[in-house]
Amino acid sequence: MERMRKVSHVLVTLYHSDEVARSPFSLRTHSAHFKGCEVDGFSDLPILDLGIRPTLRLLLKICGFVVSLHRSGIMKPIRLSSARPWITVGLLLAWSIPISDLLTTTAQAEWYVGGYGGVTAPGGLSNATVSDPTLGGGVTDAHLNDLALKSGLLEGVKGGYFFESRPWLGIETDLYTLKPDVKQQTVVGGTSSGRVFADSIGPIPFRLSVWTVNLIIRSPSMSEVFQPYGGIGYGLFFATGSEGGLSNTQINPGFQFVAGARYVLTPEWAFFGEFKYNNTEVRFNGIQGNYNSQNFVAGLMWHFGR
């Protein structure tokens, strides 16, 4: 707690210095004085009386909540290996919101739509189980080693809105489709009865359609033409396979993380490049497993309503 208090005092001192006061990021429309406030038991804690004050208040509440969980023993220490994906996502989001942008952003509502194409590099289908009357002499819910999936192309569309009161914050919907077919390969598996087998499987065609809703945070005032952004989304993953000549679709929820940047070509048009990481569980053709992929896309977006 004492360390948190010291850090906040350092931030206030830096901001209140003459050098920072003369910087181009100073706000003329906001008072530069500081007020004490109470946040979950913290009294007289200096907080910037600026547009980011609610954000700092929220961050302090979260920190206090996490500390209380650790002290009560509810939250166990997190291993670095399991925390790395979340650390990466946090750094991507932090990269997309320089503090100077929060201090200088002007209100400006904005709608956009876009189309894109790219490539997908799926990881292996992990923790896979399979039910197949021909595999290994006939198996039901047999556990396999990871199933290798094919890389390929993807295409999609998206649309969204950045809020007028907080133009660095937006919400978008994203829809795209890809075909990460199961490669032909030799698998080693085991049944619930303890029988171990090795057999050849694939190729197995399979289409994945993804629809997500993403929360997007961008950097609108870093540059007039270059704007990085990041986000997190949740949605539905439609896995479609073909069994016995009949199409079969299974739907599962999943997560998506986004990091990208757009380059403004005209007031209405912009080029963008984006990295998408998604994670879900898929089921198709008697196969079930954990799916994740890294997707790299580029496209054009049209902005309107500004």
Residues 134, 271, single domain; the answer is yes
Q: Model confidence over 290-302: pLDDT tens digits?
A: 999 999 999 999 9
| pLDDT given for residue 72 in this prediction | 53
Q: Which of 77, 98, 131 is the last residue of a domain?
A: 77
Residues 184, 279, single domain; the answer is yes
| pLDDT given for residue 156 in this prediction | 98
Asked if residue 98 belongs to a domain, the reply is: no
Tell me if 61 sits within 8 A of 46, measured CB to CB: no
CA 86 to chain centre: 9
| pLDDT given for residue 164 in this prediction | 86
- Can you read off the two tokens belonging to residue 67? 């500390």
Name the band, by pLDDT with cuts 50, 70 and 90, for residue 124. confident
Residues 128, 50, single domain; the answer is no
Cα(208)–Cα(107) distance, integer angstroms = 38
Residue 21 clears pLDDT 80, i.e. is over it: no
Name the band, by pLDDT with cuts 50, 70 and 90, for residue 8. very low
Q: Taking Cα atoms as reference points, which of 109, 85, 78, 92 lies closest to residue 220?
A: 109
Asked if residue 82 belongs to a domain, the reply is: no
Residues 32, 159, single domain; the answer is no
- Can you read off the two tokens belonging to residue 73? 């023993």
| pLDDT given for residue 303 in this prediction | 87
Of 287 and 76, the structure prediction assigns the larger pLDDT to 287
- Can you read off the two tokens belonging to residue 184? 């032909």
Query: Quick one: average pLDDT of 214-233?
Result: 87
Find where tokens 């210095």 sit.
17
| pLDDT given for residue 220 in this prediction | 64
- Give me the chain's average pLDDT, please: 75
Residues 52, 127, single domain; the answer is no
| pLDDT given for residue 93 in this prediction | 46
Query: Quick one: average pLDDT of 30-58?
Result: 40
Percent of all residues in the chain with a pLDDT value above 70, rounded to a whole number: 62
Q: Taking Cα atoms as reference points, which of 58, 61, 79 lies closest to residue 69?
A: 61
Which residues are paired to 255 by β-bridges? 234, 279
Residues 195, 285, single domain; the answer is yes
Residues 49, 139, single domain; the answer is no
Asked if residue 104 belongs to a domain, the reply is: no
pTM, two decimal places: 0.64
Residues 116, 256, single domain; the answer is yes
Residues 66, 189, single domain; the answer is no
Tell me if 280 sits within 8 A of 253, measured CB to CB: yes
Find where tokens 């500390």 sit.
67
Q: Which of 26, 59, 77 is the last residue of a domain?
A: 77
Cα(271)–Cα(261) distance, integer angstroms = 9
Of 11 and 270, the structure prediction assigns the larger pLDDT to 270
| pLDDT given for residue 171 in this prediction | 96
The string of DSSP codes covering 62-126 is HHHHHHHHHHHTSSPPPPHHHHHHHHHHHHHHHHT--HHHHHHPPP--EEEEEEEEEEEEE--BE
Instruction: Report DSSP state, residue 6.
Output: H
Residue 70 clears pLDDT 60, i.e. is over it: no
Alpha-helix residue ranges (DSSP H) falling in 96-221: 99-104
| pLDDT given for residue 48 in this prediction | 38
Asked if residue 87 belongs to a domain, the reply is: no
- Outline where DSSP puts E strands in 163-205: 169-178, 185-190, 196-201
Query: Quick one: average pLDDT of 123-141?
Result: 91
Residue 224 clears pLDDT 70, i.e. is over it: yes
In what helix (H) or strand (E) does residue 303 lie, and over which residues does it extend?
Answer: strand 287-304
Find where tokens 């986004």 sit.
258
> How many domains does the structure of the chain reveal?
2
Q: Which of 77, 102, 121 is the last residue of a domain?
A: 77
Residues 119, 63, single domain; the answer is no
- Can you read off the two tokens belonging to residue 6? 């010291």
Structural domain of 23: 2-77
Residues 133, 229, single domain; the answer is yes
Pick the range with the lowest mean pLDDT from 25-34, 39-48, 261-270. 25-34
Query: Quick one: average pLDDT of 232-261?
Result: 91
Residues 292, 215, single domain; the answer is yes
CATH number, position 165 = 2.40.160.20
| pLDDT given for residue 99 in this prediction | 40
Of 16-25, 196-205, 238-247, give the range with the top mean pLDDT: 196-205
Pick the range with the lowest mean pLDDT from 29-33, 56-60, 211-215, 227-231. 29-33
